[in-house]
Chains A and B, each alone.
Chain A
Amino acid sequence: MTQSLLTLSATETLAKLRKKELSATELARTTLARAAAIAPLNAYLHITETKALEQAAAADAAYAAGTAGPLAGLPLGVKDLFCTAGIKTTAASKMLEPFVPAYESTVTAKLWAAGAVNVGKLNMDEFAMGGSGENSAFGPARNPWDVNRVPGGSSSGSAAAVAAYACFGATGSDTGGSIRQPASFTGTVGIKPTYGRCSRFGMVAFASSLDQAGVFARNTADAALLLQTIAGHDANDSTSAPLAVPDWVGELKQVNLKGLKIGLPREYFIEALNPVIKAAIHAAAQRFEAQGAELVEVSLPSTPYAVAAYYIVAPAEAASNLARYDGMRYGLRVEGSGLIETYINSRTAGFGDEVKRRIMVGNYALSSGYYDAYYTKAMQVRTLIANEFDAVFKQVDVLFCPTAPSLPFKIGAKAKDPVSLYLEDAFTIPASMAGLPGLSVPCGTAAEDGVTLPIGLQMIGPRWSEGRLLQLAHAWEQLRGPFQIPFIQNY
């Protein structure tokens, strides 16, 4: 009973709730028990049981009264960088360990207004800085496919909890790949919308010109439902776009593959790409070709420089954003002999190694002697990357490429060499730099060292093309057939 309930899709679960075949309270209790049972994965930092049961009771009352919202009673997880009023929000940092926000992020406020139930706050790389989840101050989250491997990052807990059936979907944030790469590593669907599609209000800031909220789900229809709930303009975020949010769920099947031009960017099928992944992506593209789509090899020549440019732009913005953590108004304070020493003590104790590295690199790149050589240069490269995407989207409708160059790797494998970990983001960073939407959908599995691991297909589209990406991912799910993440009782 428990397993058959937890493995339903969000869409199926909501149908059952609507027909009153299932009570939201029963569903919340079952999900909360599952969230507790997967503790060895370290996906949840904080299970919000009281809140979940309150919201579930409200959902049951709303169903009885006929006033239930589109997500009423649906248990979801929240990446711990979305501020939740009255609920601890740490961004997986010791710096914010004592922080209880006074206000709610716009994204989560929209979920609760639609009736969703908050199961808990999810683990992540500290301040979203990382690609493996290992930079969490509260220990790494583990991959449900193999607990010795990383679930990807930075939205490590979101990906792990959804893949472990401990919620029906989760929020994530993506600055350089932090939704798409963990989705690929856990066999889930993850979408990062166009920059400006979702409000950043109440998200702990990392790199403001790149940060964007998105979602994880176990299939594309669920992802569409969650994304259309959280998207939309917000007066509290001046970079959020004043555009109407389409009915992505309703439009999911309105796609014609005949004549669709799919671009395969040469620079994403390089030597560093695991050949098994390369074969899986090509096989998926050929399935679309068999349906009448046209495959076109395209080139985005600046791609090899995107990671380097990102690791100047993102740290520069991070160094500025994280200057607010001074130990004075909120967060951790470690007293010193005076003001400056208190700042230094607090920040040295509160931030982890990767966060410190990025603050230092960022401040270095922004310093007067190096500003033009590093920061201006990186922003110019960003222009090249964006222009090349614009040109390519005059030739093709969408790009298909791998989400990540490798399969989920073992915990600790890349921990000592930051640059080797940075390169894991090589295929997700370019779309982030250009502000484009990207989606990762499972396209197969591969065996490595006796374990089966998922492979993600990334689809990148022009600005505001989330609808098309969701349609194509949905079409792919029909071509691919069912993709079941193993349900494991005890990790």
Chain B
Amino acid sequence: MGEMAEISDKELQKLALLSRLRFEGEALATFRTQFANILGFVDQLKQLNTDGIRPLTSTANLPSTPERPDVVTSANQRETLQRSAVKAEHGFYVVPKVVE
């Protein structure tokens, strides 16, 4: 299955930050092992020769996307959609302060 994939703690923490996740203590240690196992597993793909093979992004394979009629619908209304908002005021989402 190829060599064990290595990922440093620094790399892992950077990836976690970019993924907007946090791993600490025991969870970090467990995660590191599982992550390495998964990478080790998927590394078997390196054994396959795929030179010149086109990557397949979708199997939808449709001739063209049919256009839908350009008419006003009653869906996607702000008030209805904001009913499940965590915090909303005056029709706006309330978020933590971004600019000082």
Give residues in A with beta carbon < 8 Å to B.
98-103, 195-196, 209, 233, 235, 238-239, 241-242, 302, 305, 308-309, 311-312, 319, 326-333, 335-336, 338-340, 342-345, 347-348, 351, 353, 356-357, 359-361, 363-364, 367, 373-374, 376-384, 386, 417-419, 422, 434-435
Contact = CB atoms under 8 A, between A and B. Distances in A.
Given A103-B75, A384-B50, A311 B38 contact: yes
Interface string B24-68: 000000010011011101111111101001111111111001101
B44 A305 contact: yes
Given A196-B59, A364-B7, A381-B48, 10 more contacts: A102-B80, A209-B60, A241-B60, A312-B45, A328-B93, A356-B21, A357-B35, A363-B19, A374-B42, A380-B56
A374 to B, nearest CB: 7
A475 to B, nearest CB: 27
B86 A239 contact: no
Contacts of B16: 360
Contacts of A242: 62, 66
A379 B18 CA distance: 24
Nearest to A194: B59
- Pairs of residues from A and B, 5 with the lowest C-beta to C-beta distance, nearest first: A435-B59, A379-B55, A235-B68, A380-B50, A380-B53
A379 B80 CA distance: 39
B48 A384 contact: yes
A196 B65 CA distance: 12
Contact of A360 (B19, B55, B62, B81): B19
Contacts of B98: 338-339
Contact of A308 (B41, B54, B56, B97): B41
Q: How large is the interface on B (under 10, 10 to 19, 20 to 34, 35 or more residues)?
A: 35 or more
Interface of B: 7, 15-23, 31, 34-35, 37-39, 41-48, 50, 53-62, 65-66, 68, 75, 80-81, 83-87, 93, 95-98
Given A196-B62, A238-B65, A377-B50, A339 B21 contact: no
B75 A195 contact: no
Contact of B37 (A333, A379, A419): A419
Contacts of B47: 305
Contacts of B54: 380, 383
Contacts of B45: 305, 308-309, 312, 374, 377-378, 381
Nearest to A383: B56
Taking each of A335, A364, A435, which has the highest tally of chain B beta carbons within 10 Å of its own beta carbon?
A364
Contact of B42 (A102, A241, A308): A308
Nearest to B40: A419
Given A363-B18, A378-B45, A102 B50 contact: no
Nearest to B47: A305
A327 B87 CA distance: 10
Contact of A361 (B35, B85, B93): B35
B91 to A, nearest CB: 13
Contacts of B20: 326, 340, 343-344, 347
A382 B56 contact: yes
Contacts of B42: 308-309, 311-312, 361, 374, 378
Nearest to A310: B42
A327 B20 CA distance: 11
A364 B15 contact: yes
A217 B97 CA distance: 50
A356 B57 contact: no
B62 A383 contact: no
Contacts of A380: 50, 53-56
B59 A386 contact: yes
